[in-house]
Structure 1
Amino acid sequence: MNRRIFAKQTALGTMGLALSSQFALSQTSLKNFVSKRPPKQERLFTSESIEQVIKKVKKQLKDPELAWLFENCFPNTLDTTVFYKEENGRPLTHIITGDINAMWLRDSTCQVWPYIPYTKKDKKLKKMVAGLINWQADCVLVDPYANAFKKDISEKTHWINDITDMKDELHERKWEINSLLFVIRLAYEYWKVTGDTQVFDDNWEKAMVLIYDTLKEQQRFESPGPYSFMRISQSANEVVANNGYGRPTRKIGMIHATHRQDDACVFPLYVPDNLMAVVELKHLAEMFENIRNNKKHARLCLEMADQVDEAIKDYAIINHRVFGDMYAFEVDGYGSHILLEESTVPNLMSLPYVGACSVEDFVYQNTRKWLLSDWNPKFVRGKRDEGIGSTHYAEPPKMIWPLSTISRALTANNEDEILFCIEQLKRSNAGTGFIHESYLPDNPDKFTRPWFSWVNTYFGEMILILLKKHPELLS
């Protein structure tokens, strides 16, 4: 099919679905929605600033169901997942994901991310986020290759028998580049918003140096490094090739990983994480320079960022026969690549959200058109809904992951598409008042993970962003 005709038909198909959402958003006014939040005395952490935001936004949102979802979802991390304490005056915050009693470095950053703008005027909230920065630094120092950590070493984990260097503090030890990148992202945003540098002590700097060393190690210029991972499993998504090191690669400057978003990489050079690495290495360089006066590591971080950026431009942008120049999902440096998509962050859809490119960037726009087409093997289309699934569960059935629908709304450049995404997200709650990990597009009652805090908070963040960028759309 002609490239232009195909792209036009794809866009019109989505637009046609979207046009119905304005009507749908106005049809909930007769319903009565009761808060699904825990009683006040059972909430793990409270913030007066966040409570004020909830009251304000509920008044702005004219759709009662949307307001109800925001009220339930936005504070879900604080209500149900935050375990805060102080040791010798040092704040420490452990944040579980929800129905899994462990803390992922990536998830925990994303779970508190939309609260950071309010830390400047809310001392209690500020200490909670500072406590997470401290706990994440401690986790990195335990093992920079681990993705998920226990709250207490006495807790049991399903993955104790994984063939890797498991430690008592670990829930799981999958090497995902973005685990370390989100540690940097949280610290940088906290610093920029609050101006506070007290939390960035010698312990934190030691952890940041270890992050740099680990990323450098995984460029694999000299060796595969010390990390490998194997798991006894019948699922291909759990198996890392080549005795746990990943498939062979040319050493082009991109950072290697065995996993991305809990699943084993096909090729070790995962493009979205490497694009995010360029952003966060520059942020880390700025912090080394201005907070710790560590000019050596500031320079080294910038040098690595340039290496990764150059390699992405040379090896990770491919020419698709229909969509033109676009980002590959994973590459090996020899010229091989796969085209696929994940639904969490970072993925190809969310690249502008993590600052890796602008929404208008032509390579990103071509990639986005591919993502929302039948050329994407993870694109799911039902009778009413469409979205992107995940490699995380075996198919069939094909499930839509709301995380990606939220990322789609945040990167959309027209209001009809945004409304279409919002209407899908509303339907996906299936009357529970919360957003879920995944669901069947034609049967939202069939969903996974009823308590998945990250997607709830991300939904709340989306509402706040859209109210600011498109105030007339929702209010």
Structure 2
Amino acid sequence: MTRTHLDPAITATLTEAAARVRATSGTQVGDMVEAALLRTLTDTVTMGDDGTAFVITGDIPAMWLRDSTTQLTPYLRFLDTCPPLADLVAAVVRRQLACLDHDPYANAFNDGPTGAHYDPEDVCDDPHVWEQKYEIDSLAYPVTLAHTLWRATGRTDVFDERAHRVLRTIVDQLRTEQDHDASPYRFQRDTDIPTETLAREGRGTAVGRTGMTWSGFRPSDDACTYGYNVPANLFAAQALLAVAQIAAEVLDDDALAADARALSGELVAGVRAFGVVPLPDGDGTPVYAYEVDGLGNALHMDDANTPSLLSLPLNAPDVLDDDVWRATRDLVLSPANPYYVTGTVASGIGSPHTKPGRVWPIALAVEALTGTPEDRVRLLAVLARTDGGTGRMHESFDPSDPTAFSRPWFSWADSMFCEVALVVADETEARSLEAGGV
């Protein structure tokens, strides 16, 4: 991997940000933040000659559309003040849109037609595609990144003819998958692991029509138990509002804007009708299910990977029902969520994607960012002391022994840790000013 040369303005911006973290959260956290902010850009991003940027997840040499967006989370606050950083994000957006233009059903791509695959025996043998697991968030994350770049800087250069075509494709594909039985998509893998393939000859478990859009896989890359993933549908509804705004204000495409707004409303209505269910074994309080099938089945859980039920205020702030979400938050941060784990050092949400009994730093960061300022301070300290002595965040760890972890280098987790630390710094400085400090 060729190390990316950082513009001096980017280095200065990130160094100053880390200094603010040191002043508010201590030397250890500040040093971890500075190292992670620089490492993500130098070790995961490769700038291409075509004005695009390829972003690996860390220790896997492929670009996930989800990860390459979330890895940029802590940098987005600097887009309007650091033009070279905005240029870098624009380059990532261009590559993401090129990937979607190539295959909107794929979740992860190679840096060119290398022929590398997660499993060489998969049905999809496209040399550009690392893996073709269809996940709704793979469509939504690039849209939200492009929209954030535009709103922060006013630049519209990423919205070229290809971008216009891709936004149309996204709307059309989400609508196609409202009736999955009519979809051409299939995924089969020769494996004994049920979460690594889809049932019914690659079509997935049976679903009824609900108004929601179908997904084969979760943001964890695990197969959905039921085909309508509720947090992904709400995230898609939020992203469609962004598509509508871009179409109307930048692309002068009123038809696309209207289609996107209408589909957003259909997804929200579908979630309201089928994805909001009574609290299991409780008083009937309405909560969001994690997945439903439109045939009467609902899955009560949450997963560490985002979009999750816990992350909805971050991923779908304009389309969620706040009262329902708050009741859902209480559910998923309790033993009622089968993937909520308690240890002697930490407690938090894990995932069936990793060993049982593991907590994910990403989920701890999301819990912090969707909680109170006091939650953020507390959970930032938890994250810092569960790095296993490595100075890095990991995919998951044993909550009673953080030296037992998976994935020694997971850039998405690093970035979420940085985001929590930067928010804590902002809030600490604001409180100091309110108290008459300097």
Residue 373 of structure 1 is aligned with which of 328, 331, 334? 334
Partner residue of 2:224?
265
1:56 is displaced (CA, Å) by 3.3
Matched, 1:141 2:104: no
1:293 is aligned, of 217, 239, 252, to 252
Give the distance between the partners of 2:96 and 2:383, measured in 1 at CA: 31
Query: Residues 357, 339 of structure 1: CA spacing in aligned structure 2 closer, same or farther, 3 A cutoff?
Result: farther
Distance change (3 Å), C-alpha of 1:393 and 1:384: closer
Number of the residue aligned with 1:97: 57
- Equivalent residue, structure 2, for 1:240: 198
TM-superposition CA deviations, 1:155-180 (whole Å, max 9, x none): 522322113x3311001100000000
Is structure 2 residue 211 aligned with structure 1 residue 253?
yes
Q: Percent of pairs identical after alignment? A: 30
Alignment of 1:356 onto 2:317: yes
The alpha-carbon distance between structure 1 residues 440 and 139, as it changes in their structure 2 partners (threshold 3 A), is same
Within 5 Å, give how 1:57-456 maps onto structure 2. 57-87=20-50, 91-163=51-123, 165-220=124-179, 223-261=181-219, 262-320=221-279, 321-322=281-282, 324-356=285-317, 361-395=322-356, 398-413=357-372, 415=374, 417-456=375-414
C-alpha spacing 1:329/1:58, structure 2 compared with 1 (3 Å) = closer
TM-score, normalising length: structure 1? 0.86
Work out the CA distance in 2 between the residues paired with 1:51 and 1:414. Answer: 23
Structure 2 Cα separation of the partners of residues 369 and 301 of structure 1? 32
Q: Is the 8 A contact 1:428 1:436 kept in 2?
A: no
How far off is 1:113 after superposition? 2.7
Counterpart secondary structure, 2:48: strand
Matched to 2:200, the amino acid is N
Deviations 1:238-283 (A, max 9, x none): 1312211111111111010110120000000000000111111011
The answer for unaligned runs of 5 or more in structure 1 is 1-40
Instruction: State the Cα distance separating 1:472 from its structure 2 match.
Output: 7.0
CA contact (8 A) 1:99 1:449 kept: yes
User: Cα distance, 1:467 vs. partner?
Assistant: 2.1
When residues 49 and 181 of structure 1 are mapped into structure 2, their CA distance, relative to the original with a 3 A threshold, is: farther
Q: Is the Cα contact below 8 Å between 1:399 and 1:439 reproduced in 2?
A: yes
Whichever residue aligns with residue 217 of structure 1, its letter is T
Aligned equivalents of 2:430, 2:372: Cα separation in 1: 15
Gaps of 5+ in 2: none
Q: SS at 1:263's partner residue?
A: coil
On the 8 A contact 2:4/2:45 being kept in 1, the answer is no
Q: Which amino acid aligns with 1:61?
A: T
Cα distance, 1:473–1:157 mapped onto 2, change above 3 Å: farther
Provide the secondary structure at the position in 1 that maps to 2:335. coil
Q: Which amino acid aligns with 1:244?
A: G
- Give the AA of the match of 1:235: I
Classify 1:240/1:359 alpha carbon distance in 2 versus 1 (closer, same or farther; 3 Å): closer
Q: Determine helix, strand or coil for the equivalent of 1:446.
A: strand
Is the Cα contact below 8 Å between 2:373 and 2:427 reproduced in 1? Answer: no
Q: Are the aligned partners of 1:50 and 1:75 in contact in 2 as well (CA < 8 Å)?
A: no
Normalising by the residue count of structure 2, what TM-score does the alignment of the two structures yield? 0.92
Task: Tell me the number of residue pairs that the alignment of Structure 1 and Structure 2 aligns.
Answer: 428
SS at match of 1:125: helix
Amino acid of the residue matched to residue 109 of structure 2? F
| 1:423-455 superposed Cα distances (whole Å, 9 cap, x missing partner) | 221121122111111000111111111111111
Q: What CA distance in whole angstroms lies between the structure 1 residues aligned with 2:421 and 2:319?
A: 20
* SS of match in other structure, 1:48: helix
